[in-house]
Amino acid sequence: MREAGASAAQELAFTLADGIAYVEGALSRGLNIDDFADRLSFFFASWSDLFEEVAKFRAARRMWARIVKERFGAANARSAACRFHVQTAGSSLTAQSIDNNVVRTTIQAMAAVLGGAQSLHTNSRDEALALPTAEAARLALRTQQIIAYESGLTETPDPLAGSYYVEALTNQLEAAANDYLKEIEELGGTLAALEAGYQQRQIQESAYRVQRAIENGSKIVVGVNKFRDEETTTPALQRIDPSGEQRQVAQLQKVRAGRDAAAWELALSRLEHAARGDENLMPPIIEAVKAYATVGEICNTLRGVWGEHRELITI
């Protein structure tokens, strides 16, 4: 959501709203909250506004603990833990002056660590241009390792706790996210809000405001709309060997020619039957894989039953 243009408060609210929907779905099937809540995990992006991002992650942990305990009645302390993975912001990477991306990624990674992330992915400096080279990917990894082993940031949990500025930002983001959650509830919950295009519309408007700010110069992007380098060079980029695709196509054709056609057809037929009812789809999906059905064939079977989602576009 953040990569599509959501603000920090929107990302926080909409992500937790999805979590609420998953919990409600599990509870509606008869599961107990404490039997599965400690297995849930979230995925956030991290941007370059260091303190706002730290506050966002702190607010996520606080809000999810309150939701799980007060809304769903969890008794196990582990159920209230907000476990999350963070990826640095791919859409913040610039094609101009790509060495600047190393600095951006470092700040974003530090925000994730200071905010309490359980796992982290750091983007490579050249990903605005192509898939990363081995050298760029190695540098992204070393960025993580320097933060982990040289910076001292991992020595204590929540190291910015007690800072007036950070605590105030945390409170502000939590309040803003709760306002979004209230609107989602008034629309009938996460699924109803999605069907009405609420989240998409909010994200589109946020992305538009940010792009306008970049274009009019009120939001500075170093090397893009200010502090441009007079001379830039494009480094060596990752080039994918087209013969790899040809080999994969040949292997797929070989699998299709050698599989048991009757077993394959029966497995997909069983999957279609299950999709038309309310059965657990995992067993028939596994059987289809064992019959050497491809991912595309499995997905097309499900599309034939359910159709395909079309995002509601608002102008």
Q: Is the pLDDT of residue 112 over 90?
A: yes
Query: What pLDDT shows up at residue 216?
Result: 97
Measure the N-to-C terminal CA separation of the chain; round to a whole number of Å: 19
Q: Give the mean pLDDT of the chain.
A: 95
Cβ-in-10-Å burial (0-12, 13-18, 19+) of 219 comes to middle
pLDDT mean over 41-66: 98
Query: What pLDDT shows up at residue 232?
Result: 79
Q: Is the pLDDT of residue 15 over 80?
A: yes
Q: Which residue has the tokens 């200071």?
A: 114
Question: What domains can be seen in the chain, in order of their start residue?
Answer: 8-216 (3.20.20.240), 243-306 (no CATH)
Which residues fall within 8 angstroms of residue 160, CB to CB, at 6 or more apart?
Answer: 51, 54, 58, 114, 166
pLDDT in tens, 191-226: 999 999 999 999 999 999 999 999 999 999 999 999
Round to whole Å and give the CA distance between 60 and 40: 14
Q: Is the pLDDT of residue 66 over 90?
A: yes
Helix (H) or strand (E) holding 253: helix 242-258
Whole-prediction pTM: 0.89
Report the percentage of the chain scoring pLDDT > 70.
Answer: 98
pLDDT mean over 165-188: 98
Query: What letters, b where the CB count within 10 A reaches 16 and e where it falls short, cover 226-259?
Result: eeeeeeeeeeeebeeeeeeeeeeeeeeeeeeeee
Report the percentage of the chain scoring pLDDT > 90.
Answer: 93
Q: Is the pLDDT of residue 231 over 90?
A: no
Q: Which of 159, 26, 147, 176 is nearest to 88 (CA)?
A: 147
Round to whole Å and give the CA distance between 286 and 271: 10
Measured in residues, the chain has a length of 315
Query: What pLDDT shows up at residue 315?
Result: 54
Distance set, CA 131 to CA 21, 124, 127 (Å) = 34, 9, 6
Query: What pLDDT shows up at residue 16?
Result: 98
pLDDT mean over 174-183: 98
The least confident of 21-25, 168-172, 229-233 is 229-233
pLDDT in tens, 233-269: 888 899 888 999 999 999 999 999 999 999 999 999 9
Query: What pLDDT shows up at residue 36?
Result: 97
For 125, list phi and psi in degrees, rounded to 5.
-65, -25
Contact 223, 100 (CB under 8 A): yes
Which residues fall within 8 angstroms of residue 275, CB to CB, at 6 or more apart?
Answer: 281, 301, 302, 305, 306
Round to whole Å and give the CA distance between 42 and 234: 36
Name the pLDDT band for 69 (thresholds 50, 70, 90). very high
Helix (H) or strand (E) holding 272: helix 261-276
Query: What pLDDT shows up at residue 34?
Result: 98
